[in-house]
Amino acid sequence: MEINLNLDLKITSQMPVRMDYRIGCIGAGFIMKDIQLVAYRNAGFNPVAIASRSIKKAEEAAMLNKIPRVYGTWEELIKDPDIEILDIAVPPHIQPDIIKQACLQKSHIKGILAQKPLAINHQQALHIVKTCKENKVTLGVNQNMRYDQSIRALKTLLEKGLLGEPIIATIEMRATPFWQDYLKDYDRLTILNMSVHHIDAFRYLFGEPSGVVASTRTDPRTGFKHTDGIAIYILEYNSGLRAMSIDDTWAWQGKADDPARDTYIKWRVEGTMGMAKGTIGWPFYPAPVPSTIDFFTNKSKGTWFKPRWKEVWFPDAFSGTMAQLLRAVEDGTEPEISGEDNLKTMAIVDACYESVSEGKRIKIIY
């Protein structure tokens, strides 16, 4: 029997009408040089200037990505009247001051794409959001996992009701991220800098949880002092849904080419009318491994659907975070991932740390 299902899973991002907004970039590390700028060029965006703490790194990024102007400091870049959009990829403790100063240039800077995490905690993030709102500068946040192709596809399934009411959702990460040196000075590690992806993805998919229970331990591979190396947390929803993530940054420390090494990110959502499960291709970068989704629904009469695509999270999904900001600037609306929206993600991050500290369930205050 033929099964008639609309399998347009809407994994691609809607582009702005105008593609030539002049973008100034701050930061020239891996995420800017090798990911964001590559995605922007592939999408047809228009980065025109870059600055970094190291002018040598800025020049290298500019040469690789055909950016015409390099500035010695970010202070010089934000004063360039030609810059319309600011793209920031710096540590979260540096970001607030840059955004504050950029808002003083509101005569020409109309929008800012801030890196995630937006700040070190909710209080600092709230100050950033208020500053942008007072100066009428549109603020978007680069929560790029929302634009991973499998997460977009899952969102489409949920919106179409093909899985029914979500009952339980899980993300299982077994991967070893690179910890930047500046994190040694923070009292927050995995939840703030890695789990923030998964927390925000759960919010994107299911809305706002009412409470959280979190537990952490140290990661033996991490040489500096920390408390949350490995993190496990459960987001509790009033509907009864439970969304849990295991963020295992230890993931057994075999060498990358060791056949016994088993690193991955998997997710799974079970509903009253079906189930979806998938993988995230990011841990295999620089190999271009697409994320995947497999699903069935009561409407499919037991048939599993396994759509596939060639696009990958790193770098392809990063065009989506910039596109949502440009569309908002163009239309005079809020970005899909606005600063205001991201405050709720930061509230959950803070609640996770409070749960770990107090050893109990925490009600989330937005």
The structure's pTM equals: 0.96
Residue 58 to residues 40, 83, 88, 119, 314, Cα–Cα distance (Å): 16, 17, 13, 23, 21
Pick the closest to residue 214 from 124, 225, 201, 196 (CA basis): 196
Residue type, 22: R
Going from N- to C-terminal start, the domains of the chain cover: 22-144, 146-318+346-363
| pLDDT, tens digit only, all 366 positions of the chain | 344 566 789 999 999 999 999 999 999 999 999 999 999 999 999 999 999 999 999 999 999 999 999 999 999 999 999 999 999 999 999 999 999 999 999 999 999 999 999 999 999 999 999 999 999 999 999 999 999 999 999 999 999 999 999 999 999 999 988 899 999 999 999 999 999 999 999 999 999 999 999 999 999 989 999 999 999 999 999 999 999 999 999 987 666 566 667 899 999 999 999 999 999 999 999 999 999 999 999 988 779 999 999 999 999 999 999 999 999 999 999 999 999 999 999 999 999 999 999 999 999 999
* Kind and range of the H or E run holding 297: strand 292-297
Tell me if the bond preceding 117 is cis, omega within 30° of 0.
yes
> Which 8-state DSSP code applies to residue 179?
P
Q: What is the pLDDT of residue 257?
A: 66
List Cα–Cα distances, 184 to 30, 140, 146, 187, 278, in angstroms.
Answer: 19, 27, 28, 8, 33
String of DSSP letters for 55-89 = HHHHHHHHHHHT-SEEESSHHHHHT-TT--EEEE-
Model pLDDT, residue 4: 53
Q: What is the pLDDT of residue 1?
A: 36
Looking at residue 118, the DSSP 8-state letter turns out to be S
| Cα–Cα distance measured from residue 12 to residue 193, given in angstroms and rounded to the nearest whole number | 26
The two beta strands, 211-217 and 362-363, are: antiparallel
Span 22-144: which CATH code?
A: 3.40.50.720
Say if CB 38 and CB 89 are below 8 A apart.
no
Topology of 146-318+346-363 in CATH?
Dihydrodipicolinate Reductase; domain 2 (3.30.360)
Residue 160: is it exposed, middle or buried by C-beta count within 10 angstroms (0-12/13-18/19+)? middle
Strand partners, 47: 23
> In which residue are the tokens 């964001």 written?
36
Contact indicator for 245, 233 with CB cutoff of 8 Å: yes
pLDDT in tens, 130-154: 999 999 999 999 999 999 999 999 9
Sign of CA dihedral 63, 67, 69, 70: negative
Q: Which helix (H) or strand (E) holds 287?
A: none
- Would you state the pLDDT for residue 262? 84
